[in-house]
Amino acid sequence: MKINALKSAVRKKIAVLRDALSKKDSPVMDRMIEKRILGLEEFKKARSVMFFASFRSEVNTFPAIRKALELKKHVVLPKVTGKKLALFEVSCLERNMTRGSYGIMEPRASCKKVNAKEIGLVFVPALAFDRKGGRIGYGGGYYDRFLKGIPLSKRIGLAYSFQVLERLPQKQHDLKVAKIITEKGVTIC
Every domain of the chain and the residues it spans: 3-188
Helix (H, G, I), strand (E, B) or coil at 73: coil
Strands 74-81 and 84-90: antiparallel
Spatial separation of the C-alpha atoms in residues 17 and 134, rounded to whole Å: 19
pLDDT in tens, 45-57: 999 999 999 998 9
Threshold 0.85, pTM exceeds = yes
Give the residue among 60, 88, 87 at the shortest CA–CA distance from 143.
Answer: 87
The tens digit of pLDDT for each residue in 52-104 reads 999 989 999 999 999 999 999 999 999 998 889 999 999 999 999 999 877 89
The Cα–Cα gap between 184 and 179 comes to: 13
The total of other beta-carbon atoms located within 10 Å of residue 45's CB is 9
Specify the CATH architecture of the domain 3-188.
3-Layer(aba) Sandwich (3.40)
